[in-house]
Amino acid sequence: MDLRLDGITHRYDGLLVLDGIDLLIRDGETVAIIGPSGCGKSTLLGIVGGLLRPSAGTVRTIGKPRADSLNPFTYVFQDFALLPWRSVAANVALALEHHPLPRAERQARIKAALGLTGLGDFADALPRQLSGGMRQRVGLARALVVRPAVLLLDEPLSALDAQTRELLMEDLLAIWARERSTRLYVTHNLDEAARLADRVVVLSRRPGRIREIVSIDVPVAERLSASALPVIAAVRDRLWALIRDEARVAEREVQHA
Partner 1 sequence: MPEPDVRGAGGVADGSATIAFRGGGFQPQPRRLVPFIVFVLVIGLWQAASWRGWLPDLFMPSPWQIVGAFGDMLHSGTLTRHVGASLSRIALGWLFGTTAGLAVGLAMGIFSVARAGGLPVVSALFPIPKIALLPLFILWFGIGEPSKVATIGFGVFFPTVIAAYTACDSVPRNLIRMGQSFGLPAHAIVWKIVVPGAMPGILAGFRITASIALILVVAAEMIGAEYGIGAFILSAGNLMQTDQLLAGVTLLSLLGLAVSTVLGAVERIVLRWR
- Interacting residue ranges for partner 1, rule: CB under 8 A: 49, 51, 70-71, 73-75, 77, 79, 81, 83-86, 94-95, 97-98, 126, 128, 142, 146
Nearest 5°: the CA angle 29, 142, 30 is: 10
Q: Residues 30, 42, 74, 78: which binds ligand ADP (CB under 6 A)? A: 42
Q: Residues 3, 21, 41, 182: which binds ligand ADP (CB under 6 A)? A: 41
Whether 40 contacts 116, CB under 8 Å: no
Q: Which does 126 bind (CB under 5 to 8 A by kind): ligand ADP, partner 1, Mg ion, none?
A: partner 1
- Least CB distance to partner 1 at residue 84 (A): 5
C-beta closer to Mg ion: residue 12 or 85:
12
Residue nearest to Mg ion (CB): 42
Q: Which does 206 bind (CB under 5 to 8 A by kind): Mg ion, partner 1, ligand ADP, none?
A: ligand ADP
In the shown chain, the binding pattern of residues 1 to 20 toward ligand ADP, with x for contact by CB under 6 A and - for none, equals -----------x--x-x---
C-beta closer to partner 1: residue 83 or 213:
83
Q: Residues 9, 42, 74, 117: which binds Mg ion (CB under 5 A)? A: 42
Neighbours of 223 (CB within 10 A): 21
- Least CB distance to partner 1 at residue 98 (A): 6
Contacts to Mg ion by CB under 5 A: 42
Contacts to ligand ADP by CB under 6 A: 12, 15, 17, 37-43, 206, 256-257
